[in-house]
């Protein structure tokens, strides 16, 4: 089906697929501590990237996990392979998706994935050197086309062909890459950022395992969007990220921020 080509950005890859995380940074570079508040989130089946915006509140994508109030764990190491699950580096919490989240409720891109935002409330507070920040209402509209974006995540950096026609994934490290808003006038602009994923110059993009990870306004800790889906299996061309600056996203986040922000 055509809609199946709209691969969920972090299509939270099953952890049974040993080397395959959700969606990951391509043509980027090691984060090297630039974004200590970006983490690797997982339950017992799937994994994504995520952002801590306070000691107990982490934001990610709604498509990452399956069940309401699912238990999740978040790791903020530069590589989640340094202290493998279930080490003490994984912080336990409870995942809550936007109750309006839906896949394929309506035809077309906007119907394929809507309200793709969730939070993880940690059982115990973190002690990080810094935290991500939420955007002001309508910030993406004010920035407009061409605005520079920094995407961060733990997803696939490279798809490596191997014998038998299978593909191996190289992942596991927190990576960052520069991209930009390629259009602010498209049919899902009111809900999603449309970002360049073409690896040219210093630019890069997101891939499997980066889902749920942040798209920062470059040079800041402001989470403008949340990695949501790509449109092909090569993680090239453009990617779409759920806007964190809309009235809808802010309405979902508001009570959680009041309680845990």
Give percent of the chain with pLDDT exceeding 70: 70
In the chain, the percentage of residues whose pLDDT exceeds 90 is 46
pLDDT tens, 8-66? 444 444 443 332 333 444 456 889 999 999 999 999 988 899 999 999 999 999 999 87
78 within a domain of the structure (yes/no): yes
Cα first-last separation, the chain: 41
Same domain, 158 and 114: no
In a domain, 14, yes or no: no
Residues 147 and 236 in one domain: yes
Of 157-171, 193-207, 218-232, 241-255, highest mean pLDDT: 241-255
> Whole-angstrom Cα distance, residue 261 to residue 167?
41
* CB hemisphere CA count around 72 (13 angstroms): 35
| 190 and 169 within one domain | yes
Q: 96-105 pLDDT, tens per residue?
A: 999 999 887 7
Based on the fold, state whether residues 156 and 239 are members of the same structural domain. Answer: yes
State the residue range of the domain holding 229. 139-243
- pLDDT-based confidence at residue 159 (cuts at 50, 70, 90): very low
Distance between CA atoms of residues 255 and 251, nearest Å: 8
pTM of the model: 0.84
CATH number at residue 125: 2.40.10.10
182-195 pLDDT, tens digit each: 876 666 778 989 88
């Amino acid at each position: 089906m055509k809609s199946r080509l709209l691969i969920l950005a972090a299509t939270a890859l099953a952890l049974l697929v040993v080397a395959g995380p959700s969606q990951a940074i391509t043509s980027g570079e090691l984060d090297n501590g630039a974004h200590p508040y970006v983490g690797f989130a997982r339950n017992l089946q799937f994994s994504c990237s995520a952002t801590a915006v306070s000691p107990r509140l982490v934001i990610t994508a709604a498509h990452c996990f399956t069940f309401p109030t699912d238990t999740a764990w978040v790791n903020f190491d530069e590589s989640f392979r340094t202290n493998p699950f279930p080490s003490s580096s994984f912080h336990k919490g409870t995942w809550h998706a936007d109750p309006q989240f839906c896949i394929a409720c309506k035809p077309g891109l906007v119907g394929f994935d809507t309200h793709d935002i969730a939070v993880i409330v940690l059982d115990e507070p973190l002690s990080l050197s810094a935290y991500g920040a939420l955007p002001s209402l309508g910030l993406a509209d004010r920035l407009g086309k061409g605005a520079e974006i920094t995407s961060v995540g733990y997803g696939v950096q490279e798809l490596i062909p191997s014998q038998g026609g299978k593909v191996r994934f190289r992942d596991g490290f927190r990576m960052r890459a520069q991209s930009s808003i390629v259009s602010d006038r498209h049919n899902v602009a009111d809900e999603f950022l449309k970002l360049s994923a073409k690896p040219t110059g210093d630019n890069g993009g997101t891939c499997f395992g980066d889902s749920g990870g942040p798209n920062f306004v470059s040079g800041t800790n402001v989470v403008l969007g949340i990695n949501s889906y790509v449109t092909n299996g090569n993680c090239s061309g453009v990617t779409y990220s759920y806007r964190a600056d809309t009235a809808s996203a802010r309405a979902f986040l508001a009570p959680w921020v009041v309680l845990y922000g």
